[in-house]
Structure 1
Amino acid sequence: MDTQHAVEGADGSDAREPSCCGEATQPLSERELAADVRTLAAVGTETRYEALRLIAASEDGACGCELEPALGVSQGAVSQALSRLHTAGLLTRRKEGRWRYYSATPRAERLLDVLDDTREVDND
């Protein structure tokens, strides 16, 4: 689609000049865009991002009680962070007795890998 801009010709007439840019189109559906924004917002605080990193680095998942001292925040803050990450589809959880263990989902692993890759490119 050719877009044009009106420009005044030398004789004062309205001439048309082709636009330098085409029209931007969104490659994602509104649903996909909203889901991506929710995912990024879920890791958008230092506590949630660090919690996700710690859990992803654990061999067999991590219990919320293990994260409290590592994150330096209250148990309530850890609980809220884990809940938000779980709701965003970045963590799975399993219950063993009275404890809940969290593991990173494949999507979370890929997201963290991409962040690692982009950081390495920036450092080159």
Structure 2
Amino acid sequence: MAGSSTRIRRLLADELDNCCEEDVEQRLDELRTLAETAFNDDSTRPVFAVLGNETRYRLARVLAVTDEELCVCELEPLVDVSESAVSHALSDLVDAGLVARRKDGNWRYYEATALAETLFETVDQREPTDE
């Protein structure tokens, strides 16, 4: 924390032209409150964590752009992993709320949830950045 408060002190000194220990403590308290607010109900974390894997991302993306349910056997060729790996990835996506599953006899069908569709639509609409 000492390194952080030193850098914050320098930042505040630049911004305020004058900085005292009370200013640093006040800012640190504000940042702690911000962190508590941001991470208090972190229900979105599983959504982003599950998309960090290439197979799960590709499956979610395919399901979000199709207008139909797809079976595991239809998804397997799209991600070049075993059927059991596809099933496991789909299970993770179901747990994260990005994919819905329906069983029909021996077959399991999957489709994107509204959350997944909205997430991908939102990202697709963003402006490209010049970096």
Name the TM-score class by shorter chain: 0.7 to 0.9
> Bigger radius of gyration, 1 or 2?
1
* Equivalent residues in 2 for 1:78-93, closer than 5 Å: 78-93=86-101
What fraction of aligned residue pairs are identical, expressed as a percent?
A: 40
Deviation at residue 37 of structure 1 after TM alignment? 1.3
Amino acid across the alignment from 2:128: V
Structure richer in helix, relative to its length? 2
* Equivalent residues in 2 for 1:1-124, closer than 5 Å: 16=20, 19=23, 22=27, 23-24=30-31, 25-26=34-35, 27-28=37-38, 30=40, 32-33=41-42, 35-118=43-126, 120-122=127-129
Identify the range of structure 1 (78-87 vs 54-63) with the bigger mean alpha-carbon deviation.
54-63
CA distance in 1, matches of 2:92, 2:62: 15
Structure 1 gaps, min length 5: 6-14
Go from structure 1 to structure 2 and tell me whether the alpha carbon gap of 1:16 and 1:57 turns closer, same or farther (over 3 Å shift). closer
Structure 2 gaps, min length 5: 1-8, 10-18
Deviation at residue 117 of structure 1 after TM alignment? 2.4
Deviation at residue 18 of structure 1 after TM alignment? 6.6
CA distance in 2, matches of 1:16, 1:57: 55
Structure richer in strand, relative to its length? 1
- Aligned-residue CA RMSD (Å): 2.7
In the superposition, the TM-score normalised over structure 1's length comes to: 0.74
**Over 6 Å off, 4+ runs:** none
Q: Could you report, residue by residue, the CA deviation over 1:78-119 in whole angstroms, capped at 9, with x for unpaired residues?
A: 01110000011111111122111111111111111222123x
Deviation at residue 19 of structure 1 after TM alignment? 3.6
